[in-house]
Chain A
Amino acid sequence: MIIRIMGEGQFELPDDSAEGLNALDAQVESAVESGDDDAFAAAFAQLLERVRAHGAAIADDALVDSDLVLPPSDATVDEVARLLGDEGLIPG
């Protein structure tokens, strides 16, 4: 499973690590929906940390697309909501 953290690069994670990620992902998701800054910051930081800790960085010159994508580590809850809501926000 390949996960991109925007602004940091791609990480390869063993498929069985998805379990722990899903719970945190769900917390982030509901925090984004309710616009809860604190809950978002806490869950998002843990999610990023887990991906970095369990993942191996993919070489810069590898051309592979990711299964999952995470927003930049300094993104706010509003920014993530906009990233998800409006496709036009992501360039390309």
Chain B
Amino acid sequence: MSMMKRMGMIFRSKANKALDRAEDPRETLDYSYTKQRELLVKVRRGVADVATSRKRVELQATQLQQQGDKLHEQAQKALAAGREDLAREALTRRSALQQQIADLQTQHANLQAEEEKLTLASQRLQAKVEAFRTKKETLKASYTAAEAQTRIGEAFSGISEEMSDVGLAVERAEDKTAQMQARAGAVDELIASGALEDVTASPNSDIDRELAALSAGSDVDNELAALKQQLGTGERQALEGGATPGTAAGAPVEEPERQPEKGTGA
């Protein structure tokens, strides 16, 4: 049998079963209205959940992007210091990050599409629930004969179909966000533990440390140069002043030894 017909029959049999359950169709109207309100709340919560997941993925992408920018800076510094090997290492790690960012961007697009779908579903359901409420009151007021049952059945199956549709949409969205949240949780843990740098790092070198060592090395050179300069100035000052603390302290010790020689010699 045709797929479209089979699907249609499944929906109708759902509606009929629910309608058959009630002895008085008017009860069904009220019961269904309660269910509709509950589903509306559920869909809106679904929209909020998807939005939360989307924002989380956005934040992660930003964090990874910053990490990537940092690696790019490191590559520049390394190259400036003549360390092409380190620059290459930084860029390799950066390209691994870029792949993760691309993956997050795909997830983000999926979540955004899901959010839009659910928002529209929520709007459609809202409109139908409103229409149902009006119709329900009219039907209840004019309820006199079995003929009204048919009209109740029509209104009921019209909204029941929408509820099945929206109900499934919410379930699918929940499944999708649950999957993405599991992945997002893993990325969050990586970012939090700082393990991301280790994961993408090659085991034999750590750019941060080597660059730090490089810059520490040049700091030492700078300090040495500064010290030498100070020392140079100090020596000149000492010469101009006639004595330095070192020679002043050393002289009295040497003097008594020399003095007798000088004394005997003279």
Chain A residues at the B interface, C-beta cutoff of 8 Å: 3-4, 6-7, 9, 21-22, 25-26, 28-29, 32, 59-72, 80, 83-84, 87, 89-92
| B3 near A29: Cβ-Cβ < 8 Å | yes
Answer yes or no: B37 CB below 8 A from chain A CBs: no
Residues of the A chain whose Cβ atoms lie less than 8 Å from the Cβ of B160: 65, 92
| B127 near A71: Cβ-Cβ < 8 Å | no
| A3 near B4: Cβ-Cβ < 8 Å | yes
Asked, given contacts A32-B3, A62-B131, A68-B4, whether A4 binds B165 with beta carbons under 8 Å apart, the answer is yes
Residues of the A chain whose Cβ atoms lie less than 8 Å from the Cβ of B157: 65
Answer yes or no: B84 CB below 8 A from chain A CBs: no
CA distance A21 to B8 in the complex (A): 15
Of A67, A84, A90, the contact of B14 (CB 8 Å cutoff): A90
| A6 near B124: Cβ-Cβ < 8 Å | no
Residues of the A chain whose Cβ atoms lie less than 8 Å from the Cβ of B83: none
| Interface residue stretch chosen among B166-174, B216-224, B245-253 | B166-174
CB proximity to A under 8 Å, residues B16-32:
18
| A61 near B128: Cβ-Cβ < 8 Å | yes
| A62 near B158: Cβ-Cβ < 8 Å | yes
| A63 near B154: Cβ-Cβ < 8 Å | yes
CA distance A7 to B46 in the complex (A): 14
Nearest residue in A to B117 (C-beta to C-beta)? A7
Asked, given contacts A63-B155, A87-B13, whether A26 binds B2 with beta carbons under 8 Å apart, the answer is yes
Of B7, B124, B128, the contact of A69 (CB 8 Å cutoff): B7
Asked, given contacts A60-B124, A60-B127, whether A25 binds B4 with beta carbons under 8 Å apart, the answer is yes
Residues of the B chain whose Cβ atoms lie less than 8 Å from the Cβ of A92: 14-15, 18, 160, 163-164, 167
Answer yes or no: B130 CB below 8 A from chain A CBs: yes
Of A6, A25, A83, A91, the contact of B2 (CB 8 Å cutoff): A25
| A63 near B159: Cβ-Cβ < 8 Å | yes
| B165 near A65: Cβ-Cβ < 8 Å | no
| B11 near A29: Cβ-Cβ < 8 Å | no
